[in-house]
Structure 1
Amino acid sequence: MGNMHDVLIAGALLAVVSGVMNGLFTLPMRFLGRWSWENVWTVFIGGACLLLPAVLVGITAPQSYRLLLEAPGRAVGIALATGFAWGFGAIMFGQSVSAIGIALANTFVLAISSALGALLPMLLLTPARIYERSGQMVLLGVAIEICGIALCGRAGLLRERAAVNQKEQRGDLVGKARPLAVALLLVIGSGLLSAVFNVGFALSQPIAAFGQMHGLSEFASTNLIWILMLGGGAVSNLGFCAFLLMKNRTVWKFVQPGGARLYGFGLIMAVLWGGSIFVYGLATPKLGALGPSIGWPLSLATGLLVANVVGLLLGEWKGTSRGALRVMFSGIGVLVIAISVLSRANQ
């Protein structure tokens, strides 16, 4: 019993580490204003979805690519399709960070994705759990998260009405600002499609089981899923970036003087976000039958809190009224409660 408890604690801590990395990965975007959005996103996606998985798989289990050819076909199709769909959510997320800043974009996208990403795997894979204590705790945690989302959204509206110096708030953030109404469409779309990422991971578990059956470790077998999902996401992301690079004639920015620093920041983004995905994959098996339903919201809600702290430190709320800040802090407090409820769902 004690050993099982230790495993659950380890899984929860790994989910939190994954969330911290996720919450920090957009920070370098504040220093990439010399590049256009499509330049930044090309380097980020290339590093996170192609380079990092190739390195990790090459180190941990180079036979993975051969095993993928023999893995369950239906699960492979689901992983590729959901990864491709998530790719468009990633595009909208990247655009929303440029539109309204790190704090608000992460708040909306991660909270929406967290709620749906917790519910859908349970409904699809273990619907009977809804009537058990663990399932009801997940439902309660999601309901509390929705209240936190509403409060943070209200704070965003108050910030927009404050008419503060937008240029001072943004710093050297890549991309261009947009009205909150347009940004909301981006974050809602991104939140919905980001939830698909966790659903795809949950439905692709036969691939991981197949890997373990053929001698792979728990971590290496989970990576089989990530290879497919991140590869599918890379196709949609890099396709859209290529379109923008040609349309806006911004390919030349890749070779402008002083580019090493820009490439460095882009690769830091890739390591933080890509690393968060692999750490999350390490966490979920340790959280039991409801691993994807508990680990996902726990990771994303942690990321949401970290991103808001980063946004506050960078001055994204500078000049905003105390009332708006109180609403924002209230929303963050509610989300902390949601994290606590979800972390106890499997105990």
Structure 2
Amino acid sequence: MLFSGVVMLVLGGISAGSFYIPLKKVNGWSWESGWISFGLFAWIIGPLAVAALTAPEFGGMIAASGSRTVFMTWFMGFLWGIGAVTFGLSMRYLGMSLGYALALGSCAAFGTLIPPIVKGQFMGLLSTTSGQLTLSGVLVCLVGVAVCGYAGVRKEREVSTDLKQASTAEFNFPKGIVVALVSGLMNACLAFSFEFGRPIAEEALSAGVAPLWQNNPVLVVALMGGFTTNVIYCLFLNVKNRTGGDYFRARAPLLKNYALAAVAGWLWYVQFMLYGMGSTRLGEYAFASWSVLMAVVVAVSNIWGLWFKEWQGVSRRTIGVIVTGILLVLLSIVLIGAGGYAAQT
């Protein structure tokens, strides 16, 4: 049971760490056209299809939870959508290795800090072993993010424009670090979306949905909120950049592009499906689920970053800096997980 749960989390992390690869292969489209096409599959088609299979008549469960529940779940998803679009931009401007490390590192830190601050429990964390471990993990995470940022500064100085653009066509460190930090902050809103969506999950359980799938109707509403943010931004860019014809333009390999967007969208959605399944299998160790997922995502994304030669042309010292930063981010996730374990004992 425990082993199968870990396997699911690892597979989810591999999926999340790999979703951007198909989007890198989209040709003839602007970034905004590829991103919103991906989002259609990740945040609309995927959640609806899985909910239909695992929670039949999920529409009635959502409606029965009340209009305030639906709105707040959607609105927190809408705010999370800002994190999603800036996460995509961080990949665009920084590449997979640095973009994932900065965005997910700050997401782990903000996502851990914001809930206790909002609930007025922050000071209490300082007086417990679990709280001290958790806050230590957040501090280490912030240091790791800063080290990764320093590695990005060194890369900016050392690598020629041609080499940077060979691996990341629009490499821009100043823009990238801003959007990565904003992404980390806003991605924390997804946790609040699940919190506000708890009545939907309770309606699903009352309707006989297996506990394993209870959050699938919640995801339908939350991710629809995220899609709303992203479609507004991407359509704005379509108009501004006159790229609205991408979706129909014959000069682009339309079928291939839509297929790549669908694969990317499915890979992105699968992480949540496997995370939900894996965490239920870990039993008393469920607290470690998010840590395992994030650790695998950071590791996998950096393996892909090396594969795509995103750090080609930098000095060995700079390689050492980025590796140190990534190891600190991984260590922080372990510490945050240890804090969760201490809270359970």
- Shorter-normalised TM-score: what interval? 0.7 to 0.9
Per-residue deviation, 1:203: 4.1
In structure 2, distance between residues paired with 1:200 and 1:11: 24
- Alignment check: 8 A CA contact 2:55 2:204 kept: no
Q: What SS class does the counterpart of residue 160 from structure 1 fall into? A: helix
**How many percent identity over aligned positions?**
28
Consecutive unaligned residues of structure 1, counting only runs of 5 or more, are 1-5
In structure 2, distance between residues paired with 1:11 and 1:246: 45
In structure 1, distance between residues paired with 2:156 and 2:167: 19
Q: What SS class does the counterpart of residue 232 from structure 1 fall into? A: helix
Instruction: Indicate the residue corresponding to 2:202 in structure 1.
Output: 209
Instruction: Indicate the residue corresponding to 1:140 in structure 2.
Output: 136
Instruction: Indicate the residue corresponding to 1:264 in structure 2.
Output: 259
Per-residue deviation, 1:20: 2.0
In structure 2, distance between residues paired with 1:177 and 1:232: 29
Per-residue deviation, 1:322: 0.6
Per-residue deviation, 1:154: 1.2
**Is 2:25 the counterpart of 1:31?**
yes
- Alignment check: 8 A CA contact 2:18 2:301 kept: yes
Check 1:168–1:190 CA distance in 2 against 1; reply closer, same or farther (3 A cut).
Answer: same
TM-score (norm 2): 0.87
In structure 1, distance between residues paired with 2:227 and 2:219: 12
Per-residue deviation, 1:11: 4.7
Amino acid at match of 2:213: A
Amino acid at match of 2:268: W
In structure 2, distance between residues paired with 1:134 and 1:245: 48
Instruction: Indicate the residue corresponding to 2:269 in structure 1.
Output: 274
TM-score (norm 1): 0.87
In structure 1, distance between residues paired with 2:195 and 2:106: 18
Instruction: Indicate the residue corresponding to 2:324 in structure 1.
Output: 330
- Alignment check: 8 A CA contact 2:94 2:168 kept: no
Instruction: Report how many residues are paired.
Output: 337
Check 1:289–1:70 CA distance in 2 against 1; reply closer, same or farther (3 A cut).
Answer: farther
Per-residue deviation, 1:171: 3.9
Instruction: Indicate the residue corresponding to 1:218 in structure 2.
Output: 211
Amino acid at match of 1:235: T
Q: What SS class does the counterpart of residue 69 from structure 1 fall into? A: helix
In structure 1, distance between residues paired with 2:217 and 2:118: 21
Per-residue deviation, 1:152: 1.2
Q: 1:1-347 counterparts in 2 under 5 A? A: 6-7=1-2, 11-122=5-116, 127=121, 130=125, 131-164=127-160, 166-171=161-166, 176-178=170-172, 180-255=173-248, 256-257=250-251, 258-285=253-280, 294-344=288-338, 345-346=340-341
Q: Deviations over 1:58-113 (max 9, x none)?
A: 21122111111001544333211110011122112212211121211111111111
Check 1:17–1:268 CA distance in 2 against 1; reply closer, same or farther (3 A cut).
Answer: same
Calculate the aligned-residue CA RMSD, in Å: 2.7
